[in-house]
Structure 1
């Protein structure tokens, strides 16, 4: 039996709608990953390949509404 190759790591993106104030900073920092819909940020996709822009977006959010976690739910950003 052959060994199974590991799947590419994925990160999960979440924007807490109760914290988001629609500043658009995340969409400006990582436009491939976040969009504004009805005045609030939303991830373009809920699972993404690891990217520095995603971390920068989470760290730049003034309300800490953007959360990046691994597929097991371990928080990656923002730090805190």
Structure 2
């Protein structure tokens, strides 16, 4: 499983962090997404796909 984020598209809504705090965080200065784990374990797949779906900027891609 691989996660890709586009920080340039991110609008700092924080929905990804709420969905999968083990994988996403936000920069303190502007709230833009920070990817903590590019290759998270498969058991997080449900949370990661949820984060991808709720991202208002479509800045997250999850590849199974």
Normalising by the residue count of structure 1, what TM-score does the alignment of the two structures yield?
Answer: 0.68
Q: Does 1:61 align with 2:52?
A: no
Q: Select the structure of larger CA radius of gyration.
A: 1
More strand by share: 1
3-state secondary structure, aligned to 1:45: coil
Normalising by the residue count of structure 2, what TM-score does the alignment of the two structures yield?
Answer: 0.83
More helix by share: 2
Higher relative contact order (CA 8 A, sep 6+): 2
4+ aligned runs moved over 6 Å, structure 1: none
Q: CA deviation at 1:13?
A: 1.0
Paired with 1:47 and 1:17, the residues of 2 have a C-alpha distance of 17
Aligned 1:1-80 pairs, distance under 5 A: 11-37=1-27, 38=29, 39-50=31-42, 51-70=45-64
